[in-house]
Structure 1
């Protein structure tokens, strides 16, 4: 089966903001990614639920991603005035399929990061573009950068989608402070990130 390798040099933005609070105190964030030139047309929209890790796990923060049922209703959610957004109870009702869960730990002293973590071994089921499972890695750096690395693999362990060379690196806008986003007790207002990204993508026909 032919494989197409693409080298891309893109400018993307990642925007996130609080969307609702769950009964158990978990925070629900809305996140979207779009190309810099077309922010009104996001290509990825997700809910992220952030809460303290269960006591039996050796981690500090649990971050789970979910699909959005009425996804068209949430385009540019963070850019809108609050009275033009879906209500919190509507947001909770639109939480869709669970996609991934990442367990984050505080980084050791002397490292560049504040938090880092990944999906459990074996990742989570994923059928997009010939994959059978996907993995995710996430790091929150002290300079407020966010590094994310999502990849899909087939039954033989071959990577079939995602960046091959390393993670996407999102830099904060000058007025942003992202370091406390993954603290279960601190959720800043709307955030904005953009960075030119260069990497190799593998797509399977």
Structure 2
């Protein structure tokens, strides 16, 4: 019996090691895909329903986990971003990763700091406010991309009369497709692109 138990324990440890290795590699892969500067210029040039938007996502707190500072602005107004967040990537289970979104205090102080990520070194996670219910759940696809979305009506939003917001994303090593929308209590869309997500081509690799 002791021999059988020892064999089972050894097998379990081997399986656990393989799972852990795969898990770390997959999380690191998504983290790398999300890093860099992105642009919707090509999409905007082809379809006037879409704005020319610049998106910057750069790693911070590299000794604390998988964190990114995210800044999004109209290309013509780079110093007036309409979205600033910190994203944290986590492992949910064997097949699922998650991206959690945090709001920065005094966000105007951080405009353009994607150029100098070390500026965040003195900021603590406790200083941030998590947007609970707004996390993305992402799963790796057969083509190597990651695809995911927020929960159903879990992400509260009051922007432009919305009651909740949804996000759907597809990420690979060349682009990020993001479809953010707001809905009122009756389920009517009140903001966001109507035909599909914004296509952000990666223009600067980190």
TM over 0.5: yes
Q: Which has the higher contact order (CA 8 A, sep 6+)?
A: 1
CA distance in 1 between partners of 2:53 and 2:113 (Å): 17
Bigger-Rg structure (1/2): 2
Q: Which residue of 2 aligns with 1:41?
A: 80
Q: Distance in 2 between matches of 1:21 and 1:114?
A: 23
Scaled by the length of structure 2, the TM-score of the pair is 0.69
Change (3 A) 1:81 1:168: closer
- By percentage of residues, which structure has more helix? 2
Aligned length: 158
Q: Choose which of 117, 129, 134 in structure 2 pairs with 1:96.
A: 129
> Within 5 A, what are the aligned runs for 1:1-205?
8-21=49-62, 26-54=65-93, 59-80=95-116, 82=118, 85-87=119-121, 89-99=122-132, 100-108=134-142, 111=143, 114-142=145-173, 144-173=174-203, 175-176=204-205, 189=206
Q: For the Cα contact (< 8 Å) 1:20–1:91, is it kept in 2?
A: no
Q: CA deviation at 1:9?
A: 4.5
SS in 2 for 1:171: strand
Q: Is the 8 A contact 2:58 2:117 kept in 1?
A: no
Aligned twin of 2:32: none
TM-score, normalization: structure 1? 0.69
Q: Is the 8 A contact 2:59 2:117 kept in 1?
A: no
Give unpaired runs (5+ residues) of structure 1: 1-6, 177-188, 190-205
> Per-residue deviation at 1:91?
4.2
Answer whether contact 1:147 1:168 (CA < 8 A) is retained.
Answer: yes
Q: CA RMSD in A?
A: 2.2
* Contact 2:100/2:130 (8 A) holds in 1: no
Greater fraction of residues in strand: 1
Residues 51-106 of structure 1, C-alpha deviation per residue, up to 9 Å, x if partnerless?
A: 11245xxx421101121112122110111373xx132x414243124251111001
User: How many Å separate the matches in 1 of 2:105 and 2:129?
Assistant: 5
Runs of 4+ in 1 over 6 A off after TM superposition: none
- Give the whole-Å Cα distance in 2 for the aligned partners of 1:9 and 1:132: 23
Structure 2: 5+ residue stretches without partners: 1-47
